[in-house]
Amino acid sequence: MSATSRKTYSVPLTHGGVLELGLRPLVMGILNVTPDSFAEAEPLTTPARAIEAALRMEADGADLVDVGGESTRPGAEPVGAEQESARVLPVIEALTGRLRIPISIDTYKARVAEAALRAGAVLVNDVSGLLYDPELAGVAARLGAPLVLMHTRGRSKTMYQQAHYQDVAAEVIRELRDRIATATAAGVPLERIVVDPGLGFAKQPEHSYGVLARLPEIAAAIDRPVLVGPSRKSFLKEAAGGRPAAERDWATAAAVTAAVLNGAHIVRVHAVTEMVQVVRAAETVRRARG
């Protein structure tokens, strides 16, 4: 059996520099600066704690840090741009110049993204794929920011009502292509776009597993770098014996392994120390079977 191919891409970053994707899978550490994050046993509710956590992620081997100020878990209450900015901007400003790795802003709001990019973030991770705030594409285009477009349907409170698929991979491909077209029409160069198939978003567990299993097909059809975020999500709950989110790292490790073996360019995780080891081992297996 040959190794699943992983095409290489060079993604230009805001403020200069390039993110080289495909030479090895990169680890994106999740830094949720929210009081209601679903996956942390102890939420990072102060800038000081968040800054300490980000520096620890870098020391533990993270390649990027993704800073978010609003929970987007299913059923979460939306947060206004002003409150979200108040959560993330002090953290990004404090980390800029201290972290040697790129900072990503996890937001779907144009106002928050622009402020974060000006504060030092170099990448925008939009869980809505431009569905919630189409003006975000214009911000990314104007400031030269790479854009992660995630597949989803509906808002947090209604997304599971739209989790109906005849062919989940084919529909994810088609809908991500639509989101890419929206971004490029707004002026975002194709070379700055990364896609995320959206495990757990508007998908029942079988859909998320199906997407993960068919990741090579999705990556080949879209021809953009692929970010995969399985960490501690609800589709892993049964495999984890019903354990709460913060206790699903063993199941997460299996999903991360599958993502790497199937050619993911970036994996987004909470437990950086452990998942860096998982990624390295899985990538060694991927290369050996080639």
Sequential DSSP letters for 35-76? TT-SS-SS---SHHHHHHHHHHHHHTT-SEEEEESS--STTP
Fill in the amino acid letter for 18.
Answer: V
**Which listed residue (268, 280, 286, 289) is catalytic?**
268
Which residues make beta-bridge pairs with 28?
64, 268
For the question of residue 109 being annotated catalytic, the response is no
Pairing of strands 18-21, 9-12: antiparallel
For the question of residue 203 being annotated catalytic, the response is no
Cα–Cα distance, 81 to 110 (Å, whole number): 9
**Which listed residue (6, 214, 232, 233) is catalytic?**
233
Fill in the amino acid letter for 288.
Answer: A
> What's the first-to-final CA gap in the chain, in angstroms?
7
> Smallest Cα–Cα separation from 264: which of 228, 218, 224?
228
CA 282-245-214 angle, to 5 degrees, is 45
> Smallest Cα–Cα separation from 258: which of 218, 203, 215?
215
Which residues make beta-bridge pairs with 228?
267
Q: Name the burial class of residue 246, with classes exposed (0-12), middle (13-18) and buried (19+) by CB atoms within 10 angstroms of its CB.
A: middle
Residue recorded with tokens 């079988």: 206
Which residues are part of the catalytic machinery? Answer: 233, 268
